[in-house]
Amino acid sequence: MAFNSSLFTLYFVLVSLLLLAGATGTRNCTRPAVRKEWRSLSQEEQKHWISAVKCVAHLLHDETFVPTVNPPDIAAYNASGSLYDGGISKDFVYSHMDATDFYGSAFFKDSNSKSGLGGWGDASTQFRVLDGAFSASSTFRVSYPFPHTLRRNFTLFPLFDSLSFPTPDVVWKRTRPAATASFTEQVVESMINGFVGDFKGLQAQMEGVEGPHANVHFIVGGDMGGICPVDAPAGCISGPTFTPNDPLFFLHHAMVDRVWFKWQQKHALNKYAFAGGSVQKLDNFTVQLLPLDFILTNLSCSKMDSEIPTDGLAPLPSTVSNVISTTEGPLCYVYE
Ligand SMILES: [Cu+2]
């Protein structure tokens, strides 16, 4: 599979910027919105969130939208696409993924058809989600790479189990810990408390091939993992471009954002620290074995004044410096 290296990060940035929707410039952020963890919401609040997701999923997408970012694995627009597929951001809550028992976590045990995120699919159903608000029996369908029911395929050792990835060294992979090891409570704490003034260090740990960001995608698998459905038409390319199909995507990315936010609060040197550049080279694992400095200096870098491409999904062009703070520019939110 051609899992293009830099796209994963690029897509993350693009989606994050959708938060700007509705923001037209700097304003006084005196009462920032407080983003809460999913399980701390009341059932009524969970119901509202899910109903908002489903609402945009039933609205027709903007047919005038033309992506200018043009990787080969962005599926062509299709007529069934909704505003949900069009990139309306929903990540105003976040989720702590349970590193101890990811599969059995209460997070995946809520099968309520109005307020539950639902659980796992299995091979017998082509990994379709069968319970919760986004199940096969609900009206929720996703459109890319072609119309289908949401899928989740629990995969604890994604780099070992998945045939979607290159396998340069099976012995090496057999010794890897479970992917959940990258986001235990201790690891997340050490990320927030460490890397003082060292944005690249934080980014490298968060965005590495086996970092917490990518690993949650791969463990959830299916749509979140960017894996083509087994009955996909010929030409389907697995990759990150349709991972937002799963509403979990937005909760997870908000958590990634939250770690960055918490890190920024920890030290004055962290607050505006930034360095562009991807650390991922998913199509060539061996690059990960090279010294970190090589990886960080040989891939394209963006700077504080770089414009972030949003293809018109945000009302105004934005730069990195404009959104480096969640409360000092057009953004106005904090995490609990
Ligand atoms: Cu992601």
Distance CA 47, CA 28 (A): 31
What separation in Å is there between the alpha carbon of 17 and the centre of ligand 1? 13
Give CA–CA dist 28/120, Å, rounded: 43
20 belongs to a structural domain: yes
How many whole angstroms from 62 Cα to the centroid of ligand 1? Answer: 23
Q: What is the pLDDT of residue 70?
A: 58
In a domain, residue 322? The reply is yes
Q: How many angstroms does the Cα of residue 239 sit away from the middle of ligand 1?
A: 11
Distance 248 CA to ligand 1 centre (A): 10
Q: How far is the CA of 212 from the centre of ligand 1 (A)?
A: 10
Distance 224 CA to ligand 1 centre (A): 8
User: What counts of helices (H) and strands (E) characterise the chain?
Assistant: 11, 5
User: From ligand 1's centre to the CA of 244, what distance in Å?
Assistant: 8
> Given this model, what pLDDT does residue 293 score?
52
Residue 41: its pLDDT value, please?
93
Q: What Cα–Cα distance (Å) separates residue 60 from each residue in 67, 80, 231, 284?
A: 17, 8, 25, 38
Q: pTM of this prediction?
A: 0.83
Residue 291 forms part of a structural domain: yes
- Asked if the structure places residue 1 within a domain, the reply is no
What is the domain-level CATH number for residue 279?
A: 1.10.1280.10
Residue 2, in any domain of the structure = no
pLDDT in tens, the chain (336 residues): 223 332 233 233 333 333 433 344 456 899 999 999 999 999 999 999 999 999 888 887 777 777 776 556 666 667 777 777 755 555 567 888 888 899 999 889 999 999 999 999 999 999 999 999 999 999 999 988 888 999 999 988 876 655 444 444 444 444 567 889 999 999 999 999 999 999 888 987 888 777 899 899 989 999 999 999 988 888 888 888 889 999 999 999 999 999 999 999 999 999 999 986 544 444 444 444 444 554 555 555 678 888 887 777 776 778 899 999 999 988 899 998
Does residue 128 fall inside a structural domain? yes
* Tally of structural domains, the chain: 1
Alpha-carbon distance values, 6 to 112, 202, 207 (Å): 37, 17, 10
Which residue range forms the structural domain that includes residue 57?
Answer: 7-335
Is position 196 within any domain? yes
User: Which residue's structure tokens are 């980014």?
Assistant: 203
Question: Crossing angle, helix 185-193 and helix 199-207, to 10 degrees?
Answer: 160
